[in-house]
């Protein structure tokens, strides 16, 4: 019988469909099993936040596919998977709309100080809050986008509805494609320096790690806002904390932290930045893509890839070149 491992909660409809393919072991909940207990028999993994390293892959002789529930693969050793003949797939576009909308959830919360006002009101304050609730409007301001993939393009579309001016940089996207959305192409340095709001939409690589370091943060407009819904390692969190504490930036909204590279499920103890102590910092727990619609879309996409791999086909959304393993 086919054995499938699901690391974290997925949509109930997806779980039900998986159960028709074989025996499903859950890495969460009351019946949770540790992957090491079943690695010898698992043929497919539906992976969310759990780290899947070379050791786990080596302990999985029957494994055919690691299907990511989302687009990031930071928690998968792709080289080890490829060497072992294991497909790694993602679900591109499944959460683009959700993440784009979350960019504005963070931005509007910072612009209008919504969390501060709501918390204060719940504590019984009212009139004394009003003098501290002066915010700013998005209309007429410049939104800078570093990276111009599907999520950034949706962000640009939403920004146009607010009457914002959009400038963007992506070395892998032609200027004509940026211009076609109504945005203006610019260099990375120009985007950082000119943006009233800077939003990051980049993968984390050796070249992009700490792209927003102390020097880059210092080159931002005084009073600008930073939004990061991509990867925590793009930003030097120690430098960001200093910029916020010094009042150089109006605020920052983060859905990701550097500490996720150590522990995706609980990065706070491993993060340089103390989210409770930094003023004008709004952090959400990597939930930008977590809507009912995106949850189902990502799960359905991962399920489709698992079906293809189990029948011996290359998954349509595979990101590596793997030759399916053979075993008795």
- pLDDT for 35-47, tens place per residue? 999 999 999 999 9
First to last CA, the chain: 13
Does the pLDDT of residue 323 top 80, yes or no? no
The span from the CA of 2 to the CA of 42, in Å, is 7
Mean pLDDT across 170-190: 97
Give residue-wise pLDDT tens across range 55-81.
999 999 999 999 999 988 989 999 999
Phi and psi at residue 4, to the nearest 5°: -125, 140
pLDDT of residue 172: 96
Tell me if residue 110 falls in helix, strand or coil.
Answer: helix
Mean pLDDT across 123-145: 96
pTM: 0.92
HSE value, Cβ hemisphere, 13 Å, CA-based, for 139: 1
Numbered ranges of CATH 3.40.50.720 in the chain:
3-93+292-310, 96-283
Q: What is the dihedral of CA 202, 207, 208, 212, to 10 degrees?
A: -150
Is 231 noted as a catalytic residue in this protein?
Answer: yes
Is 286 noted as a catalytic residue in this protein?
Answer: yes
* Mean pLDDT of the chain, nearest integer: 95
pLDDT of residue 171: 96
User: Considering only CA atoms, which of 84, 25, 21, 23 is closest in space to residue 56?
Assistant: 84
pLDDT of residue 322: 85
If one counts every other C-beta atom within 10 angstroms of the C-beta of residue 23, the result is 14
If one counts every other C-beta atom within 10 angstroms of the C-beta of residue 209, the result is 15
The CATH number corresponding to 96-283 among 3.40.50.720, 3.30.420.40, 3.30.470.20, 3.30.420.10 equals 3.40.50.720
| CATH 3.40.50.300, applies to 3-93+292-310 | no
Give residue-wise pLDDT tens across range 237-280.
999 999 999 999 999 999 999 999 888 889 999 999 999 999 89
Give residue-wise pLDDT tens across range 4-37.
999 999 999 999 999 999 999 999 999 999 999 9
Catalytic residue among 48, 64, 231, 237: 231
Catalytic residue among 25, 69, 153, 286: 286
């Amino acid at each position: 019988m086919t054995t499938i491992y699901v690391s974290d909660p997925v949509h109930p409809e997806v779980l039900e469909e998986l159960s028709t393919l074989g025996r499903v072991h859950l890495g969460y909940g009351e019946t949770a099993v540790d992957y090491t207990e079943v690695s010898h028999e698992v043929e497919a993994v539906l992976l969310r936040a759990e780290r899947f390293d070379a050791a786990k892959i080596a302990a999985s002789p029957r494994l055919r596919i690691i299907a990511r529930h989302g687009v990031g693969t930071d928690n998968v050793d792709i080289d080890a998977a490829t060497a072992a003949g294991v497909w790694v797939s993602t679900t591109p576009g499944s959460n683009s709309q959700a993440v784009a909308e979350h960019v504005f959830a963070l931005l509007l919360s910072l612009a209008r100080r919504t969390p501060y006002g709501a918390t204060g009101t719940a504590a019984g304050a009212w009139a004394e809050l009003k003098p501290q609730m002066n915010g700013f409007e998005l209309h007429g301001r410049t939104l800078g986008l570093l990276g111009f993939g599907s999520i950034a393009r949706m962000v640009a579309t939403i920004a146009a509805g607010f009457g914002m001016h959009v400038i963007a940089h992506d070395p892998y996207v032609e200027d004509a494609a940026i211009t076609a959305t109504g945005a203006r192409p610019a260099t990375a340095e120009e985007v950082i320096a000119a943006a009233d709001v800077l939003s990051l939409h980049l993968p984390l690589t050796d070249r992009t790690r700490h792209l927003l370091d102390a020097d880059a943060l210092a080159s931002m407009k005084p009073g600008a806002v930073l939004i990061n819904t991509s990867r925590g390692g793009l930003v030097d969190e120690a430098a960001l904390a200093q910029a916020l504490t010094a009042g150089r930036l109006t605020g920052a909204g983060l859905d990701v932290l550097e500490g996720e590279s150590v522990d995706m499920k609980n990065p706070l103890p491993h993060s340089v930045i103390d989210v409770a102590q930094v003023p004008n910092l709004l952090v959400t727990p990597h939930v930008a893509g977590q809507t009912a619609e995106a949850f189902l879309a990502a799960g359905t996409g991962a399920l489709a890839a698992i079906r293809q791999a189990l029948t011996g086909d290359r998954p349509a959304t595979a990101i590596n070149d793997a030759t399916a393993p053979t075993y008795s």
